[in-house]
Every structure is written in C-alpha cells, then in structure tokens.
Amino acid sequence: MTPEERMGAYSALFTWIVPVGPKLHEVKFYHVFSEKTFEMEIDNSNKQSFVKPISFMDQFCCCRPEFYANPIETKFSFEGLNITVWVTAEKTEFVYKLKVNDQGFKDYQDAFYKKFDAWTVNGLRIVLDKETLELWCNGEALKDVDRNFVDGGTLVTFDLNQYHYQLRTQGNESSGIFHLLYVNDEVIPLDTTLDIDTRSQNARFFLMMHRVGVD
C-alpha cells in the first residue's frame, strides 16, 4: 500500500461550498479515523479542531461495530456561522452529513435562494438581495450603478470588466416579481447550483484492521 493509499485508508477530507449573503465560503472537513479527531477550516484559514471525548468505556469498546454506528456530532463556529457535521458508519463507509445554522444543508441552500438571486458570468458571481435590491460582485458591494424606473419595473445598469450589465426587475406581488440579468443584451441564467449535504468515505481497510465486522 502506497503512502497515499494508506492515508486514504485512515482519513477523509471533504469540501462544501456554503453561500452566506453575497459570498461563497469553502468549508473543508478533515477526519483522522484512528485518532477520532476532526478538523475544519473555512476559506483555507481559521482552522478549528474537534476531538471526540473518549471515556474508559469508549476505549474498551472502540473495536466493536456499535462504537462506529453511534453518530458523532462535531460542531464548529466561524463568525456567527455555525456548522455541524454528523459522522456515522454504515457497513464499510464513514458517512458525513452537513448542517448550517441548525438547518440541513439542502434546507439552508433553499432558504438562501429564496432571499437571493445569483448569477455566474465572465468569471464573476453577481448576487442580488431580492428584498433590499442590493447588488454584490464577488462579495463586494456594487456602488457605481444607475437605477431607473421603466415600464413594468426597474432597470439597474452597471459596467464590469468592459461588459455592460442590465438587471431588469418586473412583475408585482400578486403575479410574482422576477429579476433578469443581461450582459451585452444576452440573458444570463440564474445560478441555483446546490451542493449535496452528504459525503462518504470507504473505510473498509481501517475497520478490518480494527476488527470491526464488515460484510
């Protein structure tokens, strides 16, 4: 077994992309199986560690299947962003499920896209707060914009990197309000990409080495 294969047999590393307001945050979660330690960092900084409390009984039972079947709740907090990863074992895999601010990650993302519209275009991420109509580009507020009332709605125009942008807001509360982003008169589709909440890692080698029953 190569060093890389051995590391893969004893550890797992996963990344989630978490939208928070106008910004996207890269959340990395690292699990060292044999040490029962967990680390998380956000945007390649602010690393935090979590070590599962191990009692005498835990040590005595650590090679039994039921020890790995009990979910471990790992909690981290980054400037008001509360992130929880539930870790459990299913047959030959460790399974990891993400929660953000006490919501399942899918529910959290659904709530985000109810409040914000987002577009990815020309290497930029444009975000609109649908309540306040504030605009951001790559996490920075857009200040140099022109806002005008037009028939049936409003028109916001701005220029970025030699491209001309138009944000058209139309509709009403009864029929629904929608926002269309144009770049050089071409409609840009909404970016509603959802990251999955669950990851898994094959841990068969580790479980076999610790004499945990596997099929």
Residues 46 and 10 in one domain: yes
**Cα distances (Å, whole numbers) of residue 116 to 97, 109, 121, 148:** 24, 10, 16, 21
For residues 75 and 39, the answer to whether their CB atoms sit within 8 Å is no
Residue 158 in domain: yes
Question: Distance (Å, rounded) from C-alpha 14 to C-alpha 29?
Answer: 5
Residues 11 and 86 in one domain: yes
Range picked from 80-84, 92-96, 100-104, 172-176 for highest mean pLDDT: 100-104
Give the pLDDT of residue 31. Answer: 85
Edge-first strand order for the sheet with 37-42 is: 11-20, 23-32, 37-42, 45-51
Residue partners of 46: CB distance under 8 A and separation at least 6: 78
Residues 147 and 201 in one domain: no
Categorize the per-residue pLDDT at 57 as very low, low, confident or very high, splitting at 50, 70 and 90.
Answer: very low
Residues 97 and 27 in one domain: yes
Q: Indicate whether 61 pLDDT > 50.
A: no
Number of domains in the chain: 2
Residues 103 and 171 in one domain: no
Residues 132 and 163 in one domain: yes
Residues 49 and 92 in one domain: yes
Residues 10 and 94 in one domain: yes
Name the more confident of 93 and 52. Answer: 93
Q: Which residues pair with 73 in a beta bridge?
A: 86
Residues 91 and 61 in one domain: yes
Categorize the per-residue pLDDT at 103 as very low, low, confident or very high, splitting at 50, 70 and 90.
Answer: very high
Give the pLDDT of residue 3. Answer: 41
Range with the poorest average pLDDT among 13-27, 30-44, 129-143, 189-203:
30-44
Residues 148 and 89 in one domain: no
Rg (Cα) of the chain, in Å, rounded? 23
Tokens 């030699």 locate to: 162
Find the domain containing 104 and state its range: 3-108+194-209
CATH number at residue 179: 2.40.128.180
Residue 215 in domain: no
Residues 102 and 13 in one domain: yes
**Which has the closest alpha carbon to 63: 86, 83, 89?**
89
Residues 9 and 58 in one domain: yes
Summarize the confidence of residues 28-34 as an average pLDDT: 83
Categorize the per-residue pLDDT at 205 as very low, low, confident or very high, splitting at 50, 70 and 90.
Answer: low
148-185 pLDDT, tens digit per residue, is 988 878 999 999 999 999 999 988 777 788 999 999 98
